[in-house]
Structure 1
């Protein structure tokens, strides 16, 4: 094979590769927005930021692979998707709550058709809810108090392992070490009256404000449930 023929074949190969890449680049991006929140009887479920997710399965596109959708601190979520039929499921062990059964056939799998932007409310049953939260600023510390309401009291009921108040200089506050600058545990002998005091580290005392919330670690459950994040001005 002479040089000109080999050179022509090489050019054809490069052209085919570029054409293939262009075809891949020309695929449409998903443009339908699914938004919503996870809640309980009208109350938001407050979580650690991006620590809990559910999976979306879409049929009709060959091999099925799930798309993970993570929940924000206030239990909200958003995802850009293609229109189509989806099944929504929480992976077992995800979240400080029990998912609700849709019916005897679907169990807790939520099926829905996405045709244009859509909002969705996902109702779950948390093991506990944090109630009556309040914070008080003193000179070098922040006091916090709350009570817990036990929601699940049947055979699936869980005990409280600890209740902790977290303080951070940003609005992202959780048990994750990157999202708290200080913390303090409560005496959990009386879940109707929980009190904590967090001593502020030096670098927070001079700040004009901090953010705080209270989290509940439930025995046997990885993900914690929290109160709403509160901004505390000094």
Structure 2
């Protein structure tokens, strides 16, 4: 009986010490933040769509830290001090480069830019309301000369998180008639569930046949009243 009692006491103390050690575990103290950019300009993406990965060598359980991108291409993560490898994952609206790894040194709060090479970009976008119609004007720029456009689209939504997945209206542009570097127009009629709102959010997206994700313009708020 004494042996069993001592065993129970020893086990309880071990659990208590382990619990205290866990509670006192040091949390990551530094913030790594940044944006995915092309020519110094943030690249718009689908919220929590394209991802980056962080790797840190020298640990027995080696697994990546996934960085999810906000729709403006920004990201943030809490990390320990150390050397990391940042990897630009495939199936994004940019070309998978031969050297897709960036060395990142974290010794304090750190902000970085992650350069990428999109297949296409959209510039000079503007949105106008006329009655129940939204008219989008923009220019499509071809960055990768071998790339082909699969879709160019106008999105309207109730939420600032508007994209291919989350939207109330999607209007396809005329890909066959698309002229790179020249003004392009897409018009969309407001559906009944948007007509009576005070405002909607508008965004443009373009997708290459070589990628599963779209390059997006920043979301713009359009007053309906």
TM-score of the aligned structures, taking structure 1 as reference length? 0.88
Query: Are 1:119 and 2:111 counterparts?
Result: yes
- CA–CA distance in 2 between the matches of 1:208 and 1:129? 30
- 1:128 deviates by 0.6
Query: Are 1:169 and 2:167 counterparts?
Result: no
Misfit runs of 4+, over 3 Å: none
Alignment of 1:49-60 (within 5 A): 49-60=47-58
- CA–CA distance in 2 between the matches of 1:48 and 1:15? 50
Match 1:96 to one of 93, 97, 100: 93
Partner of residue 133, structure 2: 141
Query: Are 1:227 and 2:224 counterparts?
Result: no
Match 1:16 to one of 14, 17, 36: 14
- 1:203 deviates by 2.4
- 1:181 deviates by 0.8
Partner of residue 207, structure 1: 197
Q: Equivalent residue of 1:38, what SS?
A: strand
- CA–CA distance in 1 between the matches of 2:68 and 2:116? 16
Partner of residue 148, structure 2: 159
- 1:143 deviates by 1.6
The alignment of Structure 1 onto Structure 2 pairs a total of residues equal to 221
CA contact (8 A) 1:187 1:194 kept: no
Match 1:187 to one of 174, 180, 186: 174
- CA–CA distance in 2 between the matches of 1:120 and 1:111? 11
CA contact (8 A) 1:53 1:94 kept: no
- 1:50 deviates by 1.1
Query: Are 1:46 and 2:44 counterparts?
Result: yes
Query: Are 1:128 and 2:120 counterparts?
Result: yes
Q: Equivalent residue of 1:220, what SS?
A: coil
- 1:228 deviates by 1.1
Query: Are 1:110 and 2:99 counterparts?
Result: no
- Residue segments in structure 1 that go unaligned for 5+ positions in a row: 102-106
- Residue segments in structure 2 that go unaligned for 5+ positions in a row: none
- CA–CA distance in 2 between the matches of 1:42 and 1:110? 17
RMSD value over aligned CA atoms? 1.6
